[in-house]
Amino acid sequence: MAIKTAGQKKGPVVILVLIILVALFFIVKQAIPKKYYYTTDLKCESCGSIYQEKIASGTTFPIKCQKCGERAAHRAMKCLDCGEVFTMKPVPIAPGAPGEMIPPEMPKCPKCGSMNLGPISERKM
């Protein structure tokens, strides 16, 4: 008799499970490494547009261009010495070794070789 009564009380159990699921969802959401977004300068290699965009950390480049839709937008920097705007795309270690790319950790100006670099435009936070 007691078992039958418990079986009939399905409504509250379902609600309880839902509450637990929602709670779990929030716990898992908190546990996942937070994606942070940052504003960066981008330059499209396809159409040449230079613009700012908020992108998520861990984004792999190139990303889709805001202007032309081509997947050709790379992070861009500006040389503070000569004013050259250039993209920081990974470069092959050696010709004939396309698999190995150097991440652009130490970017320098391709025009004058200066490492005095900065953002293209002021950050709008």
Spatial separation of the C-alpha atoms in residues 68 and 17, rounded to whole Å: 47
DSSP codes, 72-123: EEEEEEEETTT--EEE---EESSTT-TT-EE--SS---TTT----EE-SS--
Q: Identify which range of 10-18, 34-42, 86-94, 111-119 contacts Zn ion by CB under 5 A.
A: 111-119
Q: Does 108 bind Zn ion (CB under 5 A)?
A: no
Cis omega before residue 62 (within 30°)? yes
Q: How far is the CB of 74 from Zn ion (least distance, A)?
A: 11
Q: Determine which residue in the list 18, 68, 93, 102 makes contact with Zn ion, applying CB under 5 A.
A: 68
Residues 76-105 that bind Zn ion (CB under 5 A): 79, 81-82, 84
At 13, give phi and psi (nearest 5°): -65, -45
For Zn ion, give the closer residue by CB, 6 or 110. 110
Site for Zn ion in 2-61 (CB under 5 A): 44, 46-47, 49
Point out which residues bind Zn ion (CB under 5 A): 44, 46-47, 49, 65, 67-68, 79, 81-82, 84, 109, 111-112, 114
